[in-house]
Chain A
Amino acid sequence: MRDSLLNISIDESFLTAVPAVHFHHSFAEHVNQICWGSWRPDAIAVELGPESALAAEGWIRSLGNNRGKEKNPFPCMLGICKPDRKNPTPCNPHALTGGRSGEPRGAFSGHNITHSPLVSMLPLTPTDSIIEAIRCAVELNIPLYGIDIENIEDPNHSGVMLQDTVMAKENLDHYVALHLPFAGHGRDDDIDDKREEVMAARLKGILKRHRRVLFTGGMGHWQRIRSLLTDSSIRADFHLEADTNALADFRPVIVHPLLAYGFIDKFPLIAEVYERQRIPAFPGVHRDRKRIQPALLFNTLFEKTCQRFFGGSHEAEAGQYRHIDLHNVPALKQYLIHLCMIKQLATPDLNTAIQAAESMMSKEFCTDFFARLMEIPWASPASFPDLPIIKVSEVTDGNAFTAEYIDKAGSRSTSFALNIFPEGPLPELKMNMPLNWSGEIQRLTRDSGSGYLRTWPAWDHLLTGLCLHAQQKAILRERQKVSISFEGSIGDGLDVKSTIRACIRGESTIYVKDLRPRPRSKKTGIFDLVPAVYIFHSGRSRTSKWVIHQVCLNHMYPEHIKNPDLFHQTIREKGEWAVSAVNFGEKSCVSGPIGRTERVTLSLIRGIIVFIPVYFNGIQEAKWLEDTQYLTNPIYQGGEFEQLKSNYLDKHGIDLSMTNWGETLIRMAIPFAKKNLMVIAPDDYNPTKLARDEAKRHGTGIQLVPHSAFPEAQIFRAAYQHCVEPLDKEGLFFPEWADGIVQTRVDAFKNMMPKKFLNYGMEYYQN
């Protein structure tokens, strides 16, 4: 080989480099190709610290040498974490936040988490050139060297890419030559200069030991490393061995898919196909490699999504959006093509695709599309039962990129800021899209038992606070018809009555009708809070179930009942179970502390109807039921949702159709609704005609308040419902340890509610 941009000979040794864009398969392919080609390296060097490289190599070795074969592919995705002791505060604020463009979106997000502990993670991405190099070193059984400085700040490189990384497949030399001047954009000269000097010195040391060396690392560093290699003032560094004592700090983890996809090429399927087609570097393996064609893969995924979505298997819920979505498909395709042209992409990546879909299509389509793009066999707790999961923390404010561990027992660590190394293109995280990852749910599901659970007060406050906010919004939007004299605008049409009356009075004024905002005189009372319907995710769900939250009248303390006659009459005539809320969602269970019987459950709620304010304790519930004469919520004989359905049919003549759960929630509320029924729903949600007609017959208006009227983080948080076993029967006190598990203080969001609401009924019973 001759010296070129990527090849350099020093004395009698030869170095070939694969300067890479991290996580992109084109570069991993080159590394792999070099390792099984005729020019096999004697040693491999990577842009990692010596200890990190050794830890990664050890872990990959322990996964087994047969990885890479079709039957037992490299898991996607594992990672190796270590506490960042030398950087007590995050060094790279960009890496800690995940806005739409990888930037901290909420201005508070980055601000608040700078005090969190920092953990660094090396994602073991199959499509990353460094990981591929480590795998090849293991397969070839040759030395691997981590030549970067361990525990150094990773500045945020945002290299400018003129061409899609797929173009690097054909001619890596040309691609690197084209991009080298731009690849170092955003570099921190103080830090990167030092790193590159160390890397060049160590490479020189390796070249003294080995004759053929392969190096791979970030493209932003190569230009300077190459020039330093020919600089005689840089001396060879022979301190290449890792400190094995430091290996105890490293911890292998399973990376949750919602975190993992940011560190995989364009979309996860590429990693799966890469692994299927990868040629192990073992000597004597048959070489027959097909090229990955991301554009073809993407088209297939898109077509499959369309076939499934428009294919007619989901009539009930997609119906109202489907015709608009179908109409928009060609425009979406065209828009995606244009977006790719502007972003210099040959194939859309996951974020671009979802970004385009979100702005063009319904939420249902986007959810399906996202699920399809994420559909690969992820590494899960089922296959690695001993590893903790690292995932984006659920208690974050919706934008901040904080993470947490979930250990084998299902309990969660405190949240920490997560730093990814090596630095690469920043992942764009979409945290507000729930992904039903069977692995996690499987681990966390336990016997539900028969304990007495109450919703966590913080969630109660949040949900009620949302309703209050919605009420205020609705009041602001209320309009009234007024009659005004005609001054040029016909308004809402001619007001014949007023005009005739004016004519009788001898005036020649013409009156027209107009709609004006209603004066803000109305205040929200506690009895206006319910019933209220909340729809958090309006899409279909095959795994969601109905859950009834109810109060057993016979279990109430007699001292709380002030009108025993009415109480006993109600039980006799209606039943002993008063429904306080009904939700539709997916339930999992998180255990409490070891050795205790108390439990905490977690549910992802898709929708909920509230009949009795959720923050009430047992005393307040009793007071409420009496104040409302047991009339504002369903009371029945108890049982499953089927029994409640029968009760609706018998008592109200409403046949609760199971085809559309959102419609069911609204229809359940109608018999108990007053003038307006509050429905908090996604922006593009429309109640079905059946629900609207039924509301109209009942004389109730459906007052839709869109999610966009609330902070996104609050809507996101409200969709996760924790139930905790209280210390007392009335639900006045909760165990202290529950704060840690739920990771939201018991009194959080309390300021969203007025004191008079919080104290409802308490004074009455204290006297």
Chain B
Amino acid sequence: MKESISIGGKNVLASQPYVPNLDFIPELIGRESELKMLIAAWMGNRFHPPLAPLLVGVPGVGKNRIVYQMARLTGKDLYIFQGHEDVTAEDLACSVRFSDDPQQKMDYVLSPLVTAMKTGGICFIDEIGKIRPRALALLASVLDERRYIDSILLGERIAAAKGFRFIAATNTNDLADNAMPDFIRSRMRPVIRIEYPCREELDRMVVMQFPGIESQLKTLLKCFWELWAELSDKNPPTYRDAIYLFSHAINLSEYEKREKQRVSLCRKPEPFASDTVRHLPSMTPKHLKMVFENYCQKERMAS
């Protein structure tokens, strides 16, 4: 249910904040330096408004995870705006929809950006590099000392609440060809580059994500790194790569195990189990290798 707030006497619907489901999102490992840079950027005072940082990195290195962590640390509501090629300038401020209320024809719906500005939350524009330059024009006044946005549809100027903070993220490749106009790039500072996780951090993440049997994971992790060095001809693995490969290998091992049981018991197997910890012991380096070969083949086809 969307919350209704009043702007200039008009009742408008606010966007809903995103509450990360930590059951599915791995614990943030490392990235202390990046978090410190973000906190420093968001510290403002009477003379200097908070900065609007831009996270840049390849897919899967944990840009969004860092933003979730910042929302958790600051205790603010997080409003996410997903960038894509069809975003228009007015989408960033306000849109309309047919009303559910039979008493009125249309509802104003505030964008995540304006909702965050009104409520003093965090606005996170994901994939900002995919938004067309002209659609970003409205952001200029939000990101400098003015800190307001003009909505033509609403016919109002909305000033940011004191606690409002802004952050955006983009993939490295989307920054190419000067996709972001200078007037936005110059306002989006600091630019924080999110690098590939180091081996130690990635190992820790896998251990935390698949807990319970560290002794077996040690062998599997060793196998994982050997396979990655052998079969993958690209950059180091990202968090997403590691989670994908391990999850897939676990599912594969589980399926294999159930198949064996089915043959022996002549009973129909259950589908994939949700409790991965319980079934991890059946996973072996062989499964990882199968998954790796499949993964590398896909990567080669994609490239």
Contacts and interface: CB of A to CB of B under 8 A. Distances in A.
Contact of B175 (A356, A472, A490, A683): A683
Contacts of B193: 359
Nearest to A711: B235
B176 A339 contact: no
Contacts of B236: 106-108
A705 B189 contact: no
Interface in B191-229: 191-193, 195-202, 225, 229
A515 B179 CA distance: 13
Contacts of B53: 359
Interface of A: 97, 99-101, 103-111, 324, 327-328, 330-331, 334-335, 338-339, 341-343, 355-356, 359-360, 472-473, 477, 489-491, 515, 683, 686, 703-706, 708-709, 711, 751
Interface of B: 30, 32-33, 36-37, 39-41, 43, 45, 48, 51, 53, 56, 85-86, 88, 172-173, 175-178, 182, 186, 189-193, 195-202, 225, 229, 233, 235-237, 303
A-B pairs, top 3 by smallest CB distance, nearest first, are A359-B190, A338-B40, A107-B236
A324 B184 CA distance: 11
Contact of B36 (A334, A342, A473): A342
A162 to B, nearest CB: 15
Nearest to A104: B198
Given A335-B51, A489-B88, A111 B176 contact: no
A343 B36 contact: yes
Contact of A477 (B37, B40, B43, B176): B176
A100 B33 contact: yes
Given A473-B176, A477-B177, A324 B182 contact: yes
A360 B192 CA distance: 9
A751 B233 contact: yes
Contact of A103 (B30, B45, B175, B186): B30
B176 A341 contact: no
A473 B173 CA distance: 9
Contacts of A359: 37, 53, 189-193
A473 B175 CA distance: 12
Contacts of A106: 196, 198, 236
A704 B236 CA distance: 25
Given A331-B189, A339-B37, A341-B43, A704 B178 contact: yes
A339 B86 contact: no
Given A101-B33, A331-B48, A709 B176 contact: yes
B86 A99 contact: no
A466 to B, nearest CB: 14
Contacts of B37: 339, 355, 359
Contact of B202 (A107, A330, A473, A477): A107
A342 B35 CA distance: 10
Contact of A107 (B32, B43, B197): B197
B41 A338 contact: yes
B232 to A, nearest CB: 10
A107 B176 contact: no
B111 to A, nearest CB: 15
Nearest to A752: B233
A155 to B, nearest CB: 15
Interface centre among B32, B40, B177, B191 (most CB of A within 10 A): B40
Interface centre among B30, B36, B199 (most CB of A within 10 A): B199
A111 B201 CA distance: 13
B188 to A, nearest CB: 10
Contacts of B172: 706, 708-709
Contacts of A103: 30, 198, 200-201
A360 B189 contact: yes
B86 A489 contact: yes
26 contacts: A99-B195, A101-B33, A105-B196, A107-B197, A110-B198, A110-B199, A111-B229, A327-B186, A328-B186, A334-B48, A335-B40, A339-B36, A341-B40, A342-B40, A359-B37, A359-B53, A359-B191, A360-B189, A360-B190, A360-B191, A472-B303, A477-B176, A490-B88, A491-B86, A706-B175, A709-B173
A751 B234 CA distance: 12
Contacts of A477: 176-177
Contacts of A100: 33, 195
Nearest to A343: B36
Contacts of A338: 39-41, 43
Contacts of B201: 103
A695 to B, nearest CB: 15
Contacts of A355: 33, 37
A99 B31 CA distance: 12
B40 A105 contact: no
A709 B172 CA distance: 7
Contacts of B86: 489, 491
A195 to B, nearest CB: 24
Contacts of B190: 335, 356, 359-360
Nearest to A683: B175
A709 B192 CA distance: 16
Contacts of B56: 708
A301 B40 CA distance: 22
Contacts of B191: 359-360
A342 B191 CA distance: 18
Given A359-B189, A683-B175, 4 more contacts: A99-B198, A324-B186, A359-B190, A359-B192
A105 B202 contact: no
Given A341-B40, A343-B36, A104 B176 contact: no
A301 B56 CA distance: 29
B198 to A, nearest CB: 5
Nearest to B173: A709
A754 to B, nearest CB: 13
Contact of B199 (A111, A330, A490): A111
B200 A335 contact: no
